[in-house]
Structure 1
Amino acid sequence: MDDTENVQNYYGSLCTEMYEKLHGKAPEDELEFYLSYAAPGMRILEPLCGSGRFLVPFEQRGFDITGIDLSKEMLDKLEEKSPGAKTLLADVTRCPDIGPFDYIFIPSGSLSLFTDDEACRRVLAALRAMIAPGGVFVFSVDTVNSIRYSEEPVIDARVDMGHGRTLTLKSTYNFDEKAKVLLAPGLYELKEGGSLLRSETMDFRIRLYEVGEMERILDEIGFSSVRAYSSFDKTGNPSNDCDCFIYECRP
């Protein structure tokens, strides 16, 4: 992941606070899906672990899990939830050799944050090299079903932060058809009454996939077995009308 991309999708302090308010706990069906691949004694890795909404439940169930993330703000929030959790502040492609792992997973479409296809390939290749013999890599990506347009800022979320303060996210939307990247620059504003206390911008971008695209990339990387799902109950044929594609990959 290059430095420009780090800036685009870096989760700063206000973004982290809003994320925690809105997405502090993992969706139950998605959590159960990823837990279904875990077994006692496995070494488990969650790259892009964020504030730990998946990692912490894995820990609470006694699994040996390590998280990697590039956002210090997110890892600080994880540390508040689970002091002593095994985490690493690093770029996935440049982190120390900490493998092998029996099970690696990236939930919530987070792999789509790598908007450059070559950067995505580097990440996938690095993770494949970390998988132990007989291990599995499971992840999801967002699809072209998420395309949207809005030249005028729209309010994506507003949360009550307590003590008379509110945090609002406003974004515009455009889609780069050539790169298949959804462009969603956002502005976070923390206000008390009518007074602006703090603001933060984020040049948010995500790569949206069509059916077959990720399968070709995984084949190029060298995965020998790939299964694709359209839902967390492991049923349904992936189509461009799905919200996400889910992949189960073995080296």
Structure 2
Amino acid sequence: MINYYGNLCTEMYEILHEKAPEDELAFYLSYATSKMKIFEPLCGSGRFLIPFYESGFNIKGLDLSKEMLSKLTEKLPEAQVTNVSLESYNPKEQFDYIFISSGSVSLFTDMNICKSILQKIYTLLKKGGKFVFAVDTVANKGQNEDEYKIIEKVKTRNGLDLVLKTKNIYNPTNKILYSPSIYELRDKEKIIKAESMDFQIRLYELGELEEILYKIGFSEIKVYSSFSKKIAKDNNAEMFLYECQV
């Protein structure tokens, strides 16, 4: 399954990204007010959802990875989360504010599916509601690599080594960065467990998503290149942050 966060991936993610970066968290919190119904699709292990909840906000989350949600509910048993794909999610309520953090919209590499997801988000918002999200840009394409190399190595709680090996291949035709990955749990040089991940992200140029979002029905769209809300002007930024209003 493309971009599915399994056991070893989730464990490494928790070690490296247990808490949200302060500037990114402040950016998403800046749109929240006390009476809002807030929804975070692709909430993962809760590094954004939990501080929103602890700040007193009414927030619900969703993620396809049961491994990631298991970590979230370990930390916050009362969390209101659903283990289902966003495509299949059909709640009876609408929300004032929806956000997808960390460039996760780029995980939807099939543009037909991505358009469907954006349309789904639009239907989940109340009139006047806002959708805020980030995508990775073509500035992240880098150099193609023929061989796997170790890019992360961390220690688990029981002292084992958890290693991530990957390589990157960028296709300029479909603007997808393919990063097949292998996670290995090691006791010194002995591999105890290995897990493969078919990781892919869609990289964007400025102007690509705006037309799609307007066609869906969003009435006002702003595109930033930083969490300080600097207006994006070119493709040199590593991310684009979209603020969209119904």
Q: TM-score range by the shorter chain?
A: over 0.9
Structure 2 CA distance for aligned equivalents of residues 240 and 219 of structure 1: 20
CA RMSD of superposed structures (Å): 0.9
Structure 2 CA distance for aligned equivalents of residues 118 and 20 of structure 1: 31
Q: In structure 1, what is the equivalent of residue 104 of structure 2?
A: 110
Deviation of 1:162 (Å): 3.6
Question: Any residues of structure 2 matched to 1:52-201 within 5 Å, and which?
Answer: 52-148=46-142, 149-201=144-196
Three-state SS of the structure 2 residue aligned to 1:199 is strand
Q: Is the 8 A contact 1:138 1:249 kept in 2?
A: yes
In structure 2, give the amino acid aligned to 1:152: E
**Which runs of at least 4 in structure 1 moved beyond 6 Å after TM superposition?**
none
Q: Is the 8 A contact 2:135 2:240 kept in 1?
A: yes
Structure 1 CA distance for aligned equivalents of residues 149 and 137 of structure 2: 21
Q: In structure 1, what is the equivalent of residue 10 of structure 2?
A: 16
Q: In structure 2, what is the equivalent of residue 28 of structure 1?
A: 22
In structure 1, give the amino acid aligned to 2:179: A
1:16-56 C-alpha deviation (Å, 9 max, x unpaired) = 00011111110100000000000001100000000000000
Q: In the alignment, does 2:208 pair up with 1:213?
A: yes
Q: In structure 2, what is the equivalent of residue 4 of structure 1?
A: none
Q: Is the 8 A contact 2:232 2:240 kept in 1?
A: no
Number of aligned residue pairs: give it: 245
Q: Is the 8 A contact 1:238 1:245 kept in 2?
A: no
| Percent pairwise identity | 50
Three-state SS of the structure 1 residue aligned to 2:206 is coil
- TM-score by length of structure 1 reads 0.95
Deviation of 1:163 (Å): 3.2
Q: In structure 2, what is the equivalent of residue 3 of structure 1?
A: none
Three-state SS of the structure 1 residue aligned to 2:56 is coil
Deviation of 1:133 (Å): 1.3
1:109-143 C-alpha deviation (Å, 9 max, x unpaired) = 00000001010000000010010111111000000
Structure 1 CA distance for aligned equivalents of residues 176 and 40 of structure 2: 24
| Ranges in structure 1 where 5+ consecutive residues have no aligned partner | 1-6
Three-state SS of the structure 2 residue aligned to 1:151 is coil
Q: Is the 8 A contact 1:230 1:244 kept in 2?
A: yes
| Ranges in structure 2 where 5+ consecutive residues have no aligned partner | none
Three-state SS of the structure 2 residue aligned to 1:150 is coil
- TM-score by length of structure 2 reads 0.97
In structure 1, give the amino acid aligned to 2:99: F
Q: Is the 8 A contact 2:154 2:163 kept in 1?
A: yes
